[in-house]
Structures are given as C-alpha cells and as structure tokens.
Amino acid sequence: MIEQRFDIPFVAQLARREKQIQQSYRPVIGVHKWFARRPGTLFRALMLAEFVADCPLPEAFFRGHNLAPRIVGDPFMGGGTPLLEASRLGCHVVGADINPMAYWVVRQELAELDQMAFREAAQEVIAAVEEQIGALYQTRCLHCGRLAPVKYFLWVKQIPCVACGQTVRLFPHYLVAKNTRHPNYVLVCASCGALNEVESLEALAARVRCVSCGSRLVREGPARRNRVTCAHCGHTNAYPRAEMGPPDHHLFALEYHCSHCAPHRRGRFFKAPDEEDLARLAETDRRLAQASLAFVPDDAIPPGDETLRLHRWGYHSYRQLFNARQLLGLNTLAEAIASVDDEVVRHALLTVFSDTLRYQNMLCRYDTYALKIVDIFSVHGFPVSLIQAENALLGVPGVGSGGFRHFVEKYARAKAYCERPYERALNRRRHRVYTVGERIGARLVDRFPDPGSPKAAYLAAASAETVALPPAALDAVMTDPPYLANVQYAELMDFCYVWLRKHLAQELPPFRRPSTRTDEELTVNRTEGRDILHFTEGITRIFVHFTKALKPGGPFVFTYHHNDLEAYLPIAVALLDAGLACTATLPCPTEMKASIHINGTKSSVVDTIFVCRTTGRIVSADFVAAPENLVRLVADDLAALQQGGLKPTLGDARCLLFGHLTRVGVWQLRRGWDRDRETDAKLDQVRDCLDRIYPVPLVERLAAQALYRAIEVDPLASMRVREEMTSYAPDAYVRF
C-alpha cells in the first residue's frame, strides 16, 4: 500500500520536474486554466503505490496499467488532476465541485472529441473573424511600408490633473523593452512619445536625446506609490480615483511582426502609433457603437476579497475590463463559435474562447524582459498595473502567444495527449515514454457508475455532500481540498463564467446562476463573512460523506500545506468526525519556487500528503510526539526530498512538521472524540492538544533543527528513521 510503497525521492524528482514545465509533462491541463494544480505524477504514483504490488513503484510508473473496475472519487475536483490520472489508469471516476467552471473544465478534459472536426471548425471560425475585424489588428511596417500584423498594443493609464485639468499619464517607467531578446533597450520619450533604442541604460546618464524631439531620455516615470506629479502645473495627484469610474488608457507603443523584414533583421519590431493606427481606433469605436454585443456580458462585479481591488480602480462591471477593440473582437468571435452546429465541437471551441479571455483584457501586462504578454491570472488575483498589454485577438500564426489560434493548438495538443498519454523519462527529459493501453477519457454519466460498465465519469456541479453515493462503493478518495483562504476560486473564475453562461445557460442548469459564487464555497472570505468555522463545518460534512462511501480500509488521500498551524485545525476536526486516522504523512514538492505568487515569500513549495484510512495501522503517537524523534522524522523527509533534487527551506520544514503534528493530534484525540460538540469547541480541543504536544515557538525551533539536520544527513541513509520507527518496540504500531 501507499504507506510502504511510496518512493519519496522518486516521486519528488518527477513532481519537481513536472511543475517546472507542467504543460509539457501533462498537456491535458491545456484544456483550460485552473489554479494551483497539483502534479499529475504525484497522483499517478499514489494510485500505483496503492493498487499495483507486483513491482517497485519506479518500474510500475512507466508501464501501462488498467485498474478497472475500481472507482475513484474526488470531492473537490477543481481542475481534475486526481480524476484525470484515475481515468488514465482505467478507473471509473466520481467528482464534485461547487464551482460550475470546475465542472466545465473537468467535463471538457474527459469528453470525447473528433480532432479533425474540431480543427476544421476552428479554421472556419478564425477565417470568419479575420475577414470581419482582421484589419483592426494591422499596422504599417516602419522598414518596408507593408501592412503587418500587430502582436501587442501597449497602453498606459491616464488621469486628469485635479488642479489644471491637463492629462497626466501614469508611467511608472518609460522602458518598453530590455536588451535580452532585442538588440537594444527601447524607451518611449516622455516629451513626444517617440520610441528610441539605446545600447545601455547607463548611457542615459550621459543625457541621451530623443531622435524625434531632442528631449532628454529618462527611464523612471512620474507615477510612484499612488501619486503622480502633473508636468504642466506641478500638482501632485492621487490615484486610483474610483469615483471617476474605470481609468482611461493611452496607446503609446505597438509590437508587430513583419514576415517580409524578419529574415533580414535582428530583434523585434516596435513602433509608436501613427495616424493610421489611431484611425483604426476611431473605426473600432464607430463599429462598436453600431454592434449589438449580444455575447458580451454586462454583469456587475460583486464585492470580494480579490474584486475589491477592481472596485478601488473604478471597475464595477466585467465589460469595463475590456477596451473597445477587445469587446468588438470577442463578440465577433463568440458569434462565429455560436454558429457551429456540432455541439461537442462548439463546446470545445467555447472552452478555448473562455481560456483565451485571460489574454484578452485590459489587466494584462507586458513583460519587458521576455517581450511577451502576461495573462491576468499570472498571480491568483486581479492585479491592476499602470501599463497594460492588449493582445491580438486571433494571434499571429507561429509568433507570440495568447491569441485564439494559439489556444486552439494548445487544446488540440491536450486532447491528443488524452488519446496517447506518456511520461517523460527521468534521464532524458525530451524522451516520451508512452504508457500503452492507457487513455484519458470516459462516458459522461448522470449517476454513480456501475463497476461492470465501460469506463464512466460521474461529475456534479454541486457541493460534494449533496452527491448521491452508495455506501462502501469507492475504492479510493484522492483529492486536493481548498487550503482555507489561499485562492478565491469563485471570484477569479467569474471572469470567464460570465462570458460562458451567455452560451450555456439554456443548455446546462449550473450555468443559470448569475455567478459561480455561493455561500457554500469552502474558502475563508472576509468580504463574504465566511470564517474558519464555516470552513471547518463544510469540509467536515464532505469528509464524512465521502468516507461513508469509501470501502473499509480504502485510502482517503489529500494534499495540504499552509504557513499557519491554525489552518490545520479544520483538517483535524474533519478527520476526527469522519472516523479517519492518518496512517502516514508524506512529503512531495507541488509548487515552483519561481512561481510569481510564491517567489520571494516564505511559502513552502512542498505539500504534506495525508494518507488516511478507517482501518489499518499507525505509528505509535508516543514515539512521534518525542521532540528528538519528530525532528529526526522531518529531517528524514527533507533528506528524501533532497534525493529528489529539491533544496528544502525552513518553510518546507515547517509545513511538514505541521503535517506530522496534525497526524499525532488526530491519533491522540480519536479515542473519546465527541462529534456532537460545537464546532468552535472542537477547534479549541484540537488547538489545545497540538499546543500541549508542541507550543508554536517550539515548533519553529524544531523546524529549524530538522532542516539543519537534513542538510547534514547523508542522503543514502535518508530512510533510516522510518526503519528505526518500525523496529522501535513491539508496540510501536497500534491497531485501530
């Protein structure tokens, strides 16, 4: 079983590599964006460790398997990673998520698709849209005079000065491009707006002048810390100004691609907008005023922990997050997709459309180093910057990223991978090892699968506690639950949902709701008044419900990490109420240190994998609760991760320690646990128990000791502590 066969160094190596380039290891995630996806390699390894016993895990991992007729459930399916891995291994899958977008994403990942019909329909849609609005995404090449497609339009926010009324542009800097992927630095002139190329930024100190107006070039702009000084009167203005509504934007640069000049020229193509470009903007405004915009949502943006940032900038409806060209283009594209007769293909194209929205809005940024657009969800929120990038709607074939064309290809690669899944060889990353006989996909059914029927997927857009489940019918529960308040899924996914429901509300009941938000969502949210009590009660009901559907002794496995021990209290309560005990807590890297939302923070990149059962064996809590033994156990985990290529941090040590503490606390509290107590009393009981084992200041010290010891430990002896625990004493293992 998992407790004996899970190979930490092997899985850590796989998971760490996958997270670096996840779409290369698991192209299926290219169907649609979802947040905080855990490595597919992790869940594949967990299922093989549990159900395949005829060979070591590293050998079994690269072979094809058929685990039918087993049934795997996931009560928090999100982007569907556990279900995708289970389906690939031949299992029936049962998944639920209260967010309709999660339901839609997993549905599309598992749905059958005629690839040829999909590509043909996509090309027809692209051709129709190109004919109608393609000219709005062109510019004239500065070098040959030919019309060329624009990749990105760069805009800067602007406000009127409250003192003199003159327009003040909120440039934080005047840098358009760095010299890494272009021969020179590109800067916009603060005086006339012309683009200038300079060999180095140090040259600016020598008072380099604009080639157009002769003004001195500078890098730093006037906008700093929500203040900007008016160049006309010297008044200092504050921003944002929500009372003025959404901010205005000024187009100041374009990056285009001239196929005629590209073979003979180094670097990229940049220009300031000319009269023709400005005329295209005027033409866009004229056409937008005459369009019906039947497929453009006008839904209000409700208050929320993440959306309040939009409100501070004056954005109060989703339509306001798009400029005129984006609104006209997206409506044109949506009309073309709606005319596709084949429902399966139309749904696939709508999914592509929804995912493309991430790069088709006025919250996208331009990366001056990589020279590419950065999508709205590069961080798990709604970042509002001062300089925004508008992407070409369809995208330039073979150039750039984020256009509808690019997303069509991404979707096609995802579905091709479903037909022939593969792994990447450890010693040769580019080498694909096809797992013969495996396939991601299933019949979509509306009731619990019959084990004897062909592979099926029973998916519900509802709270998992409402899903009808026969008792003792699931062979395993594998899930990645919400981590208290880490990601506000509904607030973020409403951005796509309000567009999709324009097409799907008549077909699918889950899309008739005005929002994906619901009071039952299991994330702590200050704006919605959802606290830790709400989270605890909700996750407990779901753990209890799915445990009743689990076969006796079957694994209930979930990943979890958080920087605060308080976030583990609801997990302990849920396990105790469900009658589950942790037979093991295992480490695995699940994030990248370089991720934008992690880089520079003290967050862990490692999850604790809680392996829980209703029957089985567990290590003596007395052994684990001794400080020296706990330090050695966490150090052992960290050393095993080092064998897998990870350089552990104090944050990693802390999170793993929290996992072990939770396991010990559950074990100590399970005898005599009163399920009928009030939730706040249960949380206090767990909190007091963990504090008795180790007060928080001691936990921090133990985490540091474990990390220090792990760095010093010989990696070849990394499993020593577990072996010692097994032979500690005849009563080191206790039946439960």
Q: What is the CATH number of the domain that holds 81?
A: 3.40.50
Give the integer Cα–Cα distance in Å for 591 and 37.
9
Give the integer Cα–Cα distance in Å for 196 and 193.
9
Domain of residue 348 covers: 119-172+221-402
CA 305 to chain centre: 18
Dump strand ranges (E) for 354-429. 365-367, 372-374, 387-391, 422-424
pLDDT for residue 495 is more than 70:
yes
Residue 59 lies in a domain: yes
Give the integer Cα–Cα distance in Å for 192 and 209.
12
Contact call for residues 690 and 641 (beta carbons, < 8 A): no
Number of structural domains found in the chain: 3
Contact call for residues 403 and 396 (beta carbons, < 8 A): yes
Tell me phi and psi for residue 396, to 5 degrees.
Answer: -90, 125
Clarify whether residues 124 and 270 are in a common domain.
yes
Mean pLDDT of the chain: 91
* DSSP 8-state code for residue 30: G
Instruction: Write a three-state SS string for 422-485.
Output: EEECCCCCCCEEECCCCCCCCEEECCCCCCCCCCEEEEECCCHHHCCCCCCCECEEEECCCCCC
Picking from 36, 20, 22, 9, the residue whose alpha carbon sits closest to that of residue 648 is 9
Contact call for residues 637 and 659 (beta carbons, < 8 A): no
- Look at residue 482 in the predicted model and tell me its pLDDT: 87
Q: Is the peptide bond before 75 cis (omega within 30 degrees of 0)?
A: no
- End-to-end CA distance of the chain, in Å? 17
Give the integer Cα–Cα distance in Å for 365 and 402.
12
Residue 520 lies in a domain: no
- In the numeric block, which tokens belong to residue 633? 């156990």
3-class SS at 197? strand
pLDDT for residue 710 is more than 50:
yes
Give the integer Cα–Cα distance in Å for 76 and 96.
6
Q: Which of 372, 402, 432 is the last residue of a domain?
A: 402
The answer for residues whose C-beta is within 8 angstroms of residue 58's C-beta and 6 or more apart is 7, 10
Contact call for residues 86 and 478 (beta carbons, < 8 A): yes
Residue 589 lies in a domain: yes
* DSSP 8-state code for residue 568: G
Give the integer Cα–Cα distance in Å for 71 and 554.
11
Q: For residue 261, what are the CA distances in angstroms to 143, 439, 592?
A: 7, 45, 38
- Of 714 and 682, which is predicted with more confidence? 682
Q: Percent of the chain, pLDDT > 90?
A: 75
- Crossing angle (nearest 10°) for helices 650-669 and 627-643: 130
- Look at residue 604 in the predicted model and tell me its pLDDT: 80
CA 454 to chain centre: 32
* Gyration radius of the chain's alpha carbons: 28
Q: Which of 411, 445, 480 is the last residue of a domain?
A: 480
Tell me phi and psi for residue 239, to 5 degrees.
Answer: -145, 155
- Look at residue 488 in the predicted model and tell me its pLDDT: 79
Burial pattern 128-137, b for ≥16 Cβ within 10 A else e, equals bbeebbbebb
User: Is the dihedral angle over the CA atoms 697, 698, 701, 706 positive or is it negative?
Assistant: negative
Residue 664 lies in a domain: yes
- Look at residue 709 in the predicted model and tell me its pLDDT: 79
Give the integer Cα–Cα distance in Å for 671 and 206.
76
Give the integer Cα–Cα distance in Å for 145 and 198.
24
- pLDDT tens-digit profile of 554-596? 999 999 988 888 999 999 999 999 999 999 999 999 886 544 4
Clarify whether residues 688 and 539 are in a common domain.
yes
Contact call for residues 544 and 537 (beta carbons, < 8 A): no
* DSSP 8-state code for residue 560: E
* DSSP 8-state code for residue 516: S
Give the integer Cα–Cα distance in Å for 663 and 644.
24
* DSSP 8-state code for residue 362: T
- In the numeric block, which tokens belong to residue 251? 């187009």
Clarify whether residues 59 and 103 are in a common domain.
yes
- Look at residue 736 in the predicted model and tell me its pLDDT: 30
Give the integer Cα–Cα distance in Å for 572 and 665.
8
Contact call for residues 254 and 247 (beta carbons, < 8 A): no
Which residue reads 């005047």 in tokens? 174
Burial pattern 577-589, b for ≥16 Cβ within 10 A else e, equals bbbbbbbbbbbbb
- Look at residue 391 in the predicted model and tell me its pLDDT: 97
Picking from 631, 603, 165, 123, the residue whose alpha carbon sits closest to that of residue 397 is 123
- Look at residue 457 in the predicted model and tell me its pLDDT: 98
3-class SS at 603? coil
Dump strand ranges (E) for 571-701. 581-589, 606-613, 617-619
Clarify whether residues 124 and 76 are in a common domain.
no
The answer for residues whose C-beta is within 8 angstroms of residue 51's C-beta and 6 or more apart is 67, 70, 475, 476
Confidence class for position 617, pLDDT limits 50, 70, 90: low
Q: For residue 189, what are the CA distances in angstroms to 159, 215, 468, 610, 680?
A: 19, 8, 64, 57, 60
pLDDT for residue 2 is more than 60:
yes
- Look at residue 359 in the predicted model and tell me its pLDDT: 97
Residue 25 lies in a domain: yes
Picking from 641, 630, 658, 559, the residue whose alpha carbon sits closest to that of residue 593 is 641
Clarify whether residues 232 and 321 are in a common domain.
yes
Picking from 53, 268, 293, the residue whose alpha carbon sits closest to that of residue 180 is 268
Beta strand 476-479 with 71-74: parallel, antiparallel or unpaired? parallel
- Look at residue 735 in the predicted model and tell me its pLDDT: 30
- pLDDT tens-digit profile of 664-678? 899 889 889 999 999
- Look at residue 486 in the predicted model and tell me its pLDDT: 66
- Look at residue 529 in the predicted model and tell me its pLDDT: 74
Clarify whether residues 461 and 563 are in a common domain.
no
Picking from 404, 359, 362, the residue whose alpha carbon sits closest to that of residue 378 is 359
- Of 599 and 384, which is predicted with more confidence? 384
Which residue reads 């994030």 in tokens? 591
- pLDDT tens-digit profile of 120-155? 999 999 999 999 999 999 999 999 999 999 999 999
- Of 597 and 59, which is predicted with more confidence? 59
Clarify whether residues 232 and 370 are in a common domain.
yes
Mean pLDDT, residues 601-615: 85
Clarify whether residues 103 and 127 are in a common domain.
no
Clarify whether residues 278 and 385 are in a common domain.
yes
Which residue reads 């300079």 in tokens? 198
Picking from 138, 133, 5, 121, the residue whose alpha carbon sits closest to that of residue 61 is 5
Q: For residue 377, what are the CA distances in angstroms to 16, 98, 409?
A: 22, 21, 20
Residue 103 lies in a domain: yes
Clarify whether residues 318 and 424 are in a common domain.
no
- Look at residue 601 in the predicted model and tell me its pLDDT: 46
Residue 510 lies in a domain: no
- Look at residue 716 in the predicted model and tell me its pLDDT: 43
The answer for residues whose C-beta is within 8 angstroms of residue 733's C-beta and 6 or more apart is 617, 618, 619, 620, 726
Q: Residue 436 burial (CB < 10 Å; 0-12/13-18/19+)?
A: exposed
Segment among 304-313, 370-379, 561-570, 709-718 with least mean pLDDT: 709-718
- pLDDT tens-digit profile of 518-561? 888 877 777 777 788 999 999 999 999 999 999 999 999 999 98
Residue 340 lies in a domain: yes
- pLDDT tens-digit profile of 223-276? 999 999 999 999 999 999 999 999 999 999 999 999 999 999 999 999 999 999
- Look at residue 592 in the predicted model and tell me its pLDDT: 65
Give the integer Cα–Cα distance in Å for 261 and 170.
33
pLDDT for residue 627 is more than 80:
no
Clarify whether residues 128 and 101 are in a common domain.
no
Q: Is the peptide bond before 69 cis (omega within 30 degrees of 0)?
A: yes
Clarify whether residues 285 and 336 are in a common domain.
yes
- In the numeric block, which tokens belong to residue 676? 């009928």
- pLDDT tens-digit profile of 53-102? 989 999 999 999 999 999 999 999 999 999 999 999 999 999 999 999 99
Give the integer Cα–Cα distance in Å for 316 and 389.
21
Mean pLDDT, residues 625-642: 83
Please report, to the nearest 10 degrees, the dihedral formed by the alpha carbons of residues 512, 515, 516, 519 taken in order. Answer: -110
Q: Which of 354, 375, 402 is the last residue of a domain?
A: 402
- Look at residue 721 in the predicted model and tell me its pLDDT: 38
- Look at residue 702 in the predicted model and tell me its pLDDT: 82
How many Cβ atoms from other residues are within 10 Å of residue 208's Cβ?
A: 17
Picking from 126, 127, 106, 6, the residue whose alpha carbon sits closest to that of residue 56 is 6
- In the numeric block, which tokens belong to residue 227? 């203040």
